[in-house]
């Protein structure tokens, strides 16, 4: 079962998120900074949501995001890399997928797909953005299977930019 958490609920499980973050991305990642600085800063942003999955108790995966806006660190780096036309169309007011982490022992069980599907469910944003590996590894293949499109092949720091356009919301 996947739980959907708001900012305060995500902060409450930070002690579980840190070790999973390290297991997923490597021990060289600064998990203390992630749990004490990055996550709290992100959890305070508009439309923050974190989805988490457990297997027999332990947390084995999570994904989170929030509304990305011009003036924030990552959107500004994207704008500098992609140029005015692409930035005007995609950057600002988008849902920004920040992290998708699945414990290595729980990978290849469909958890990444389930987490991303739940993370994106019923969002009011027309567009979403994320950065991922420039290669054709598991993460980019997952996003393409879920309908994301490659917008920019290399932002200049080893990340490709992917976008998801849900189309114009229907009006009544």
Q: By C-alpha distance, which of 73, 33, 95, 100 is closest to 157?
A: 73
Q: Supply φ then ψ for residue 27, to 5 degrees.
A: -65, -15
Alpha carbon distance 143, 100 (integer Å):
11
Check: CB of residue 17 under 8 Å from CB of residue 58: no
- Among residues 64, 143, 152, 162, which one is catalytic? 143
What is the DSSP code string of 57-74?
SSEEEEEEEEEE-TTSHH
Q: Smallest Cα–Cα separation from 115: which of 18, 19, 24?
A: 24
Backbone angles phi, psi at 98, to 5 degrees: -95, -50
Establish whether 143 is a catalytic residue. yes
Residues labelled as active-site residues? 143
């Amino acid at each position: 079962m996947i739980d959907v958490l708001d900012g305060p609920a995500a902060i409450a499980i930070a002690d579980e998120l840190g070790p999973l973050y390290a297991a997923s991305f490597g021990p060289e990642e600064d998990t203390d900074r992630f749990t004490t600085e990055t996550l709290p800063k992100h959890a305070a942003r508009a439309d923050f949501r974190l989805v988490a999955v457990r297997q027999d108790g332990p947390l084995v995966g999570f994904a989170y995001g929030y509304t990305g806006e011009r003036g924030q660190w990552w959107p500004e780096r994207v704008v500098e890399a992609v140029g005015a036309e692409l930035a005007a169309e995609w950057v600002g007011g988008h849902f920004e997928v920040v992290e998708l982490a699945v414990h290595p022992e729980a990978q290849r069980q469909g958890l990444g797909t389930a987490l991303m599907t739940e993370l994106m469910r019923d969002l009011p944003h027309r567009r979403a953005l994320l950065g991922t590996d420039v290669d054709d590894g598991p993460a980019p293949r997952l996003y393409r299977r879920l309908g994301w499109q490659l917008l920019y092949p290399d932002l200049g720091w080893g990340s490709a930019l992917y976008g998801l356009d849900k189309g114009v919301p229907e009006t009544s």
